[in-house]
Amino acid sequence: MDMRSRLSEALKTAMKEKDAARLSTLRLINAAIKDRDIALRGSDVEASEVSDDDILGILGKMVKQRQESARAYEEGGRLELAEKELAEIKVIEEFLPKPLSEREAEAAIETAIAEVGATSIRDMGKVMAVLKGRFTGRMDFGKVGPAIKARLG
């Protein structure tokens, strides 16, 4: 089942169960996807809809935004708002594939470096491209970048 179908089914279920918090988060996800669809229509890209990989990217970005917001709310003493953000993260993460463990991520980095034949920091973009192609939504690329630099630098 593709991502759009999974999200649509989850939305219907949340409506039937009258789960307001979950429904709100699912609607935010759908709105973000529709925004990307609209942006694609105006561009020269041939695809008229976002792919499942694009949706995973959108979901990953949404999780990261909510983590930052929750942290800011906690620092500001607004715990009820931080809890709301964390609850939204749980709903969003249901649609993301299981993240790679630290050991799996290191192995994936090593494999990508070997595949590309990377020897210096100049090859970092090629390595990142390979990893993003395979592990979008499953890796924290903010942590992967420094790990690649450490191996190539």
- Print the SS3 string covering 50-84: CCHHHHHHHHHHHHHHHHHHHHHHHHCCCHHHHHH
Q: Domain 3-93 is in which class?
A: mainly alpha
Q: Give yes or no for residue 36 having a pLDDT over 70.
A: yes
Q: pLDDT over 90 for what percent of the chain?
A: 41
Mean pLDDT of the chain: 88
**CA torsion 100→102→103→104, rounded to 10°?**
20
Domain boundaries, the chain: 3-93, 102-152
What number is the average pLDDT over the span 105-123? Answer: 89
pLDDT of residue 45: 60
pTM over 0.75: no
pLDDT of residue 20: 93
Lowest mean pLDDT among 31-45, 55-69, 85-99: 31-45
pLDDT of residue 140: 80
At 44, is the pLDDT very low, low, confident or very high (cuts 50, 70, 90)?
low
Q: Give yes or no for residue 57 having a pLDDT over 80.
A: yes
The DSSP line for the chain is --HHHHHHHHHHHHHHHT-HHHHHHHHHHHHHHHHHHHHHHHSS-S-SS--HHHHHHHHHHHHHHHHHHHHHHHHTT-HHHHHHHHHHHHHHHTTSPPPPPHHHHHHHHHHHHHHHT--SGGGHHHHHHHHHHHHTTTS-HHHHHHHHHHHH-
pLDDT of residue 46: 63
What number is the average pLDDT over the span 66-92? Answer: 95
Contact residues for 87 (Cβ-Cβ < 8 A; gap 6+): 21, 25
pLDDT of residue 92: 93
Q: Give yes or no for residue 153 having a pLDDT over 80.
A: no
Look up the CATH architecture of domain 102-152: Orthogonal Bundle (1.10)
Q: Which residue has the higher pLDDT, 81 or 52?
A: 81
